[in-house]
Amino acid sequence: MVGRTLAALPLVAVLTCPAAASAEAAQASTVTLEQKLAALDALTQPTEPSAAAWHDAWDSRASWGAYGFDWSSDLCSGSPDRPLGFDFRPACRRHDFGYRNYKALGRFPANKEHVDSAFLFDMRQVCVEYAGARKTACDRLAWSYYQAVRRLGGLVGRDSEDARGSL
C-alpha cells in the first residue's frame, strides 16, 4: 500500500482496517472530502453491514483520527436512553454520529432521511431480541422515537444551532 493514496483503497478496506487507512491518510497528509463522505455514508446506512461497520469503528475510534469525525453523543437527547429497559443507546450514538458529522460537512439536509432510517433500523435490531408483548412494546417505542427524529431531529439540543438554516 505504500505510495497509494487513501482514495485508491477500496471502501471496504477503509471500513474494516481504519488503522491502515489512517497510515495511508497520514502519508497523503489529509483525507479528502470525498473520502470522508464515502466513509460517513458507509457508516450511516440502515443495513446490517453498515451497523456492524459503525460498531467496529466506534470500538476503534482512535484509528479514525485522520477523518476528524465527531464521536460525541448525548445519547437519546431528552428521551430515556433505555425506555422500559430497551437499550437504545447504541442507536442514539450512531444517530448522533450521522447528524453531527453531516452537519459539520454542510451535508445534513440531503442525508437526514437515511440517518433517521438507520436509527429506526438500529432500534428494531434491539427489538428483535424480544417476543410477544415485550417485542410489541419495543417496536412501538422504536417507531415513536423514529417519528420524533423525523419531525424534530436537528431542531433540539446541541444540533439546533446547526439546523436552523438547513431544515
Residues identified as active-site: 95
HEC per residue, the chain: CCCCCHHHCCHHHHHHCHHHHHHHHHHHCCCCHHHHHHHHHHHCCCCHHHHHHHHHHHHCHHHHHHHCCCCCCCCCCCCCCCHHHCCCHHHHHHHHHHHHHHHHCCCHHHHHHHHHHHHHHHHHHHHCCCCHHHHHHHHHHHHHHHHHHHHHCCCCHHHHHHHCCCC
